[in-house]
Amino acid sequence: MKKKVVLGLSGGVDSSVAAWLLMQQGFDVEALFMRNWHDTTGLLQSDCHWEDDAMFAEMVAKKLGIPYHFVDLSDAYRQKVVDYMFSEYEKGRTPNPDILCNREIKFDSFADEARKLGADYVATGHYCRREILNTPGGEIYRLLCGSDGNKDQSYFLC
């Protein structure tokens, strides 16, 4: 039986190629689009493109012939990322919201949603390398910088 991978599909090139590569490797791939923001207070309508992103992600999933799922994680995003950021700003510190989003949303809330879909693995389109070391105690997985330092996103995954 094929192992199931639930992929965070944004509709962009990186996650779309990741979906295709996983399919080529024989995985059963399902796409999960995450809506992380819904508050448009103070924004011009054209400033928040999540609907377009969701449409592109769904089109990619359809083209690849994989199931497409949508999850609204905007409440978790507000609680775990936005509220924390404002708290840190008040203390005179400058947090990195991308790292927070990856840790708290993409690799926590997203992983929970993927498990609900029966995922054996989760994946994203982040640009990095991985290495598996075989040791007497078992396999050790290492996350490494991408081959192209200009595109490396490994720091988001730590």
**pLDDT tens profile 89-145:** 999 998 887 777 767 777 788 899 999 999 999 998 888 898 999 999 999 999 899
For residue range 49-60, what is the model confidence (pLDDT) as tens digits?
778 889 999 999
Q: CA-to-CA distance for 37 and 78, rounded, in angstroms?
A: 8
Domain match, 64 and 140 both = no
For residue range 70-80, what is the model confidence (pLDDT) as tens digits?
999 888 888 87
Q: CA-to-CA distance for 155 and 149, rounded, in angstroms?
A: 11
Domain match, 156 and 109 both = no
Residue 19: which CATH number? 3.40.50.620
Considering its fold, how many domains does the chain have in total? Answer: 2
One-letter identity of residue 151: K
Q: Domain residues for 156?
A: 127-158
Domain match, 19 and 97 both = yes
* Rg value, the chain, Cα: 17
Q: Could you give the 3-state DSSP secondary structure of residue 150?
A: coil
Domain match, 121 and 139 both = no
Domain match, 121 and 68 both = yes
Domain match, 94 and 153 both = no
pTM of the model: 0.78
Average pLDDT (2-22) is: 95
Domain match, 57 and 106 both = yes
pLDDT surpasses 70 at 82: yes
Mind giving me the DSSP string for 41-96? TT--GGG--HHHHHHHHHHHHHHHT--EEEEE-HHHHIIIIIHHHHHHHHTT----
